[in-house]
Amino acid sequence: MADMILQVKHLSKAFGSHEVLRDIDFTVNRGDVTSIIGASGSGKSTLLRCINLLEQPTSGEILYHGENVARPGFNAPAYRSHVGMVFQSFNLFNNMTVLENCVVGQVQVLKKNRKEATEHAMEYLEKVGMAPYIHAKPRQISGGQKQRVAIARALAMDPEVLLFDEPTSALDPEMVGEVLGVMQRLAQEGMTMLVVTHEMAFARDVSNHVVYMNQGVICEEGAPKDLFGAPQKQQTKDFLARFRQN
């Protein structure tokens, strides 16, 4: 039986009277690379932010190893340290160098000693090719480099699952490749990933599960070759057709 990490049940989220997510159900198993695709405003990012409790769901459950994390009074910081997140706008700490960005969480949250944390951080910074820049401040490096550091920062916490919120949307086209390359390598190494993306090629070639969202509901999901090859619903066909034209 597959090792289930996250299970989302009947999740709904409303901002005032505007319902952004309605009755979302899906699961993330260990080793899964799930891509969430859909038009802007379809609720993809909100879903990801709900999973990391950056937004509090209006109703429904998010089970992490069977424990509901969306209940009142839940210890969110401890849970978040197991669920990494990479943002569209990088959100590196501007007051720290590249290396400190990857060390501070390990020292403060995981209570590792600084030497151990630094070695661990260097391991991942080398993996994303940012080891040369450890003394630079975020304002001194490019967008693609910032995003690679953000990935290393999330990885250094040894998360069980990594959430990506449109990681390449804020990047210049020539920098997209270096970030997607790193993500592809992570996927091959068996990292569990949940990726909100507009990169259809990535969704098709790298992930093993694709979720298509439309207007706050999961419209269709399945293996990439089924969803891209033979979409069942009309909305999915329309959405994919728009991308093929480009």
Partner 1 sequence: MDKFIQLGQDMAKLWSNYRGMYLSGMWNTLLLALVATAIGCVIGLACGILNTIPYSKNDPAWKRFLLKLIRILVRIYVEVFRGTPMVLQAVFIFYGLPYFTDNAMRFGSVWSAAILIVSVNTGAYMAESVRGGIISIDPGQTEGAKAIGMTHVQTMTHVILPQALRNIMPQIGNNFIINVKDTSVMFIISFTEFFAFHRYITGVNNMYFPSAAIEMIGYLTMTLAASFLLRWLETRMDGSDSYELVQADSLTMTAGTYNHPGKGSPYDERSREYPKEQKGGI
Q: Please report, as ranges, the residues that interact with partner 1 according to CB under 8 A.
A: 52, 54, 56, 71-73, 76-82, 84-85, 87, 89-95, 97, 104-105, 108-109, 128-137, 140, 142, 144-145, 148, 150, 153-154, 157, 174, 177-178, 181-182
Q: Of 176 and 219, which has the nearer Cβ to partner 1?
A: 176
Q: Of 87 and 239, which has the nearer Cβ to partner 1?
A: 87
Q: Of 68 and 232, which has the nearer Cβ to partner 1?
A: 68
Q: Which residue has the tokens 């799930």?
A: 34
Q: How far is the CB of 87 from partner 1 (least distance, A)?
A: 7
Q: Of 161 and 219, which has the nearer Cβ to partner 1?
A: 161
Q: How far is the CB of 221 from partner 1 (least distance, A)?
A: 25
Q: How far is the CB of 240 from partner 1 (least distance, A)?
A: 24
Q: How far is the CB of 93 from partner 1 (least distance, A)?
A: 5
Q: Of 37 and 103, which has the nearer Cβ to partner 1?
A: 103
